[in-house]
Chains A and B, each alone.
Chain A
């Protein structure tokens, strides 16, 4: 049961954890002459492929005052080129028997089609075409801005837990653009223009800044000529560095309370600034994954056992962490009280459990147990064509390599109990954290 208060950000299907096992995916990778990287993972169970193009640009690369502009551009990419009339892109894919969509996150923007293998070259031509030949009518740009405002109302403004999630991020990051909502602030979305989107497009959309991931009924030998005939014909422009504002040292614990008329079920969340695979301290990322798993994943986790089962205080509790992020990410913990239990009581219990982790109370046995499970579960990750494409796309747009993805099982296997203890001590520091409370407008009398 999902009782967490963290928003599922924008189209944003938040990426799955990068999982694998030795030789699990067996990807092939090569680079086109124009610098576009290509990854192929074979899966021949059906005559189908998942075709994804990932751009190394996302909301954290928004121009100042234009938060969410990459997401706006993502929507506008369906508005046509010289060859494709406005609004026809998805209809053509549908007539080819395919599904298509796109997604934006902090570090990437991705476009995908699921399609019969013998139609792949057509969608590659279409995707390559819109990489450089986007044509935008002023009227379409304005209408789409309204669509995004409706999307924001659905995902955020209508949803108190999402409103709190936005404010937690804004307070967790003092300076770095991960403080922005992926979809953008409402008033900044209202300011988007066609020219804003086109300038951003011309800056970032070029083969050298893109990664092609194809998973399904095709080999690298078969894909290479198709890639050369489509994306390979586009000359790359120079790509600017992703110069993001850097986060200063954090020195104070922060508390954010959101009181909202519609909150019937309070909750508490903690967010700690944490290294990603790609940042300084990135060697801790694998230990942090193990820590999140043993602390707060599933019903046998410490948090669930303690707060939900043994003490009966919480309806739900958990923790999660993802290392796949270009810059510093967060380690998150949440709990929701059972009806009739005061939030303070749940928070106190949560704090006790966190204190145990910081004190190093982590056993060899529990680390071994969750590592075994994480490695076993990795087998399931091979089942979905798009799931595999996402694992590689997220990794390659957040500073990782294909080798890193394939090495995930051995790196998890190598995590020791001491690594987990150190990671807990270094990351779970109050001065690096934000505590968020979602509350009804007037504190209810405890029953």
Chain B
């Protein structure tokens, strides 16, 4: 079967460059009178100073809590009363935000965004309130098996590297963050030089350009970021955190393929076949469909900037953890031996190309795709070209990359009370 190959409006992505040199990808869609804007500053939690883990996350919680002339209440009212949605988030590698506004409130929405990025107040009340929320959240996570399994995986795999640290911090580090730390974050980390922007919706380039300059133009030219070394996940084997719960959670993974590697798309296809393809994947077939051991098992390529990864997760009752882990091992080893068939590659390619336009059906998703295109350096014409990258992948490419991608041993992080499984690391 051939996949439909009509990328949605792909040709109409514009690269907007403002007089102040701010760049954005824009996909205009006038059907509904609103826009979604996504932005991303390179440099995330991995940049947080030692002892201040969770600083990026805390700033993300506070930039929409008062800025310029508006205290927290006034700022929140300005957003909510006008149905303007503004939020910030931080992950290991970046600090991101989303703005959504109706056409009628567009100018005001950009003004609020400008204030939040350049004149955040960090008044005492919101700082202590958001700190309290983060502490409550961290307490809840102390017994959350999904969180703990992922934490333990990163802590073990990246011992000695910034990726080992908790992106949301710990109660101690969150308590230690001062208002000066928050202000320093804004001064050092939010700059034009590490900024990426994607816009989708009812706006023209001419309308967008002055808004971008007014909003982002006052940011400093260069950020102050520390150089982080590249890393490869070190450990393999099994780490276990015992907890009396009926079902164990398992996070697993090892090194991946860099986003700019010539074999990246072959690796993407290989992962689809192994664990990315839902009901079409080998892991789902073997572990769920044939044996009923899990509700969900999946894997994905995580394009972490300093250490590309292949990661996955499953959850199964304590009695069957060892069996499920053996099955993951068996399937990754089959991939490592290059045991991939032509039909599997063809099926993966028809899905991956045919489903690409499905991602381009809402302003929110398009804006996020555009901003990712920018920070991953994929180019303005990526939406048009992306399916050709998948089409070009051959069976031989998949076999070659699978041997490389799945050659090493996998680190499994288990939280629960698994039977017949002992910790073992190498």
Chain A residues near B (Cβ < 8 Å): 1, 3, 43-48, 78, 87, 90-91, 94-99, 114-116, 118-119, 142-151, 153-154, 157-158, 216, 261-265, 298-300, 305, 308-309, 312, 315-316, 336-339, 369, 372-373, 376-377, 379-380, 382-385
A45 and B31 form a contact (CB under 8 A): yes
B129 and A308 form a contact (CB under 8 A): yes
B357 and A47 form a contact (CB under 8 A): yes
Closest Cβ of chain B to A420, distance in Å, is 18
Closest Cβ of chain B to A374, distance in Å, is 9
B102 and A97 form a contact (CB under 8 A): no
* Residues on A with beta carbons closer than 8 Å to the beta carbon of B246: 153, 157-158
12 additional A-B pairs beyond A95-B1, A158-B245, A298-B80, beta carbons within 8 Å, are A43-B361, A46-B8, A46-B360, A94-B355, A97-B353, A146-B292, A147-B294, A150-B317, A264-B140, A312-B125, A315-B135, A373-B83
B143 at interface, CB cutoff 8 A = yes
* Residues on A with beta carbons closer than 8 Å to the beta carbon of B6: 47, 116
Chain B residues near A (Cβ < 8 Å): 1, 3-4, 6, 8-9, 29, 31-34, 36, 61, 72-73, 76-77, 80-83, 100, 102, 125, 128-129, 132-133, 135-137, 139-140, 142-143, 145, 243-247, 249, 277-280, 285, 288-296, 315-317, 347, 350-351, 353-355, 357-358, 360-364
A154 and B296 form a contact (CB under 8 A): yes
Docked complex Cα distance between A264 and B137 (Å): 10
* Residues on B with beta carbons closer than 8 Å to the beta carbon of A305: 73
Give 4 nearest A-B pairs by CB, closest first: A97-B354, A146-B292, A46-B8, A376-B83
Docked complex Cα distance between A339 and B8 (Å): 49
Docked complex Cα distance between A205 and B9 (Å): 39
Closest Cβ of chain A to B388, distance in Å, is 15
Q: Which A residue sits closest to B201, measured CB to CB?
A: A383
* Residues on A with beta carbons closer than 8 Å to the beta carbon of B3: 96-97, 116
Q: Which B residue sits closest to A160, measured CB to CB?
A: B143
Return the contact of B4 from the options A43, A119, A380 (Cβ within 8 A). A119
* Given A147-B294, A262-B143, A299-B80, also A97-B280 (CB < 8 A): no
Docked complex Cα distance between A218 and B363 (Å): 19
Docked complex Cα distance between A308 and B65 (Å): 13
Q: Which B residue sits closest to A263, measured CB to CB?
A: B143
Docked complex Cα distance between A118 and B1 (Å): 13
Closest Cβ of chain B to A10, distance in Å, is 11
- Residue of A95, A262, A309 with most chain B CB atoms under a 10 A cut-off: A95
A309 and B72 form a contact (CB under 8 A): yes
Return the contact of A264 from the options B72, B143, B247 (Cβ within 8 A). B143
Closest Cβ of chain B to A339, distance in Å, is 5
Q: Between A and B, how many residue pairs show CB distances below 8 Å?
A: 203
B100 and A95 form a contact (CB under 8 A): no
B295 and A150 form a contact (CB under 8 A): yes
Closest Cβ of chain B to A316, distance in Å, is 7
* Given A154-B315, A300-B80, also A144-B292 (CB < 8 A): yes
* Residues on A with beta carbons closer than 8 Å to the beta carbon of B247: 150, 153-154, 157-158
A45 and B292 form a contact (CB under 8 A): no
* Residues on A with beta carbons closer than 8 Å to the beta carbon of B294: 147, 150
A-B contact pairs, 23 of them (CB 8 A): A1-B137, A46-B8, A46-B357, A46-B361, A78-B279, A90-B280, A94-B277, A94-B355, A95-B1, A97-B4, A97-B355, A116-B357, A143-B291, A150-B293, A151-B296, A153-B317, A154-B247, A262-B243, A300-B81, A309-B73, A338-B135, A369-B81, A379-B102
Docked complex Cα distance between A379 and B31 (Å): 11
- Residue of B34, B137, B280, B361 with most chain A CB atoms under a 10 A cut-off: B361
Docked complex Cα distance between A45 and B365 (Å): 13
Docked complex Cα distance between A262 and B245 (Å): 9
Q: Which B residue sits closest to A378, measured CB to CB?
A: B83
Return the contact of A309 from the options B82, B125, B245, B296 (Cβ within 8 A). B125
Q: Which A residue sits closest to B145, measured CB to CB?
A: A158
Return the contact of A150 from the options B4, B285, B315 (Cβ within 8 A). B315
* Given A46-B361, A300-B76, A376-B102, also A143-B9 (CB < 8 A): no
Docked complex Cα distance between A90 and B140 (Å): 36
B33 and A379 form a contact (CB under 8 A): yes
Docked complex Cα distance between A8 and B289 (Å): 25
Q: Which A residue sits closest to B76, measured CB to CB?
A: A299
B292 and A94 form a contact (CB under 8 A): no
Q: Which B residue sits closest to A260, measured CB to CB?
A: B143
A95 and B351 form a contact (CB under 8 A): yes
Closest Cβ of chain B to A87, distance in Å, is 6
A339 and B139 form a contact (CB under 8 A): yes
Closest Cβ of chain A to B183, distance in Å, is 22
* Given A48-B357, A48-B361, A154-B296, also A372-B81 (CB < 8 A): yes
Q: Which A residue sits closest to B171, measured CB to CB?
A: A339
A91 and B279 form a contact (CB under 8 A): yes
Closest Cβ of chain B to A4, distance in Å, is 11
A1 and B280 form a contact (CB under 8 A): no
A380 and B34 form a contact (CB under 8 A): yes
Closest Cβ of chain B to A295, distance in Å, is 14
* Residues on A with beta carbons closer than 8 Å to the beta carbon of B133: 1, 3, 315-316, 338
Q: Which B residue sits closest to A304, measured CB to CB?
A: B76
B358 and A383 form a contact (CB under 8 A): no
* Given A97-B353, A305-B73, also A384-B361 (CB < 8 A): yes
Return the contact of A48 from the options B8, B136, B295 (Cβ within 8 A). B8
* Residues on A with beta carbons closer than 8 Å to the beta carbon of B350: 94-97
Closest Cβ of chain B to A172, distance in Å, is 24
Docked complex Cα distance between A300 and B78 (Å): 10
Docked complex Cα distance between A114 and B36 (Å): 22
* Residues on A with beta carbons closer than 8 Å to the beta carbon of B351: 94-95, 97
Docked complex Cα distance between A43 and B32 (Å): 10
* Residues on B with beta carbons closer than 8 Å to the beta carbon of A46: 8-9, 357-358, 360-361
Docked complex Cα distance between A385 and B359 (Å): 11
B279 and A94 form a contact (CB under 8 A): yes
B31 and A264 form a contact (CB under 8 A): no
- Residue of A114, A300, A380 with most chain B CB atoms under a 10 A cut-off: A380
Docked complex Cα distance between A265 and B288 (Å): 33
* Residues on A with beta carbons closer than 8 Å to the beta carbon of B80: 298-300, 373
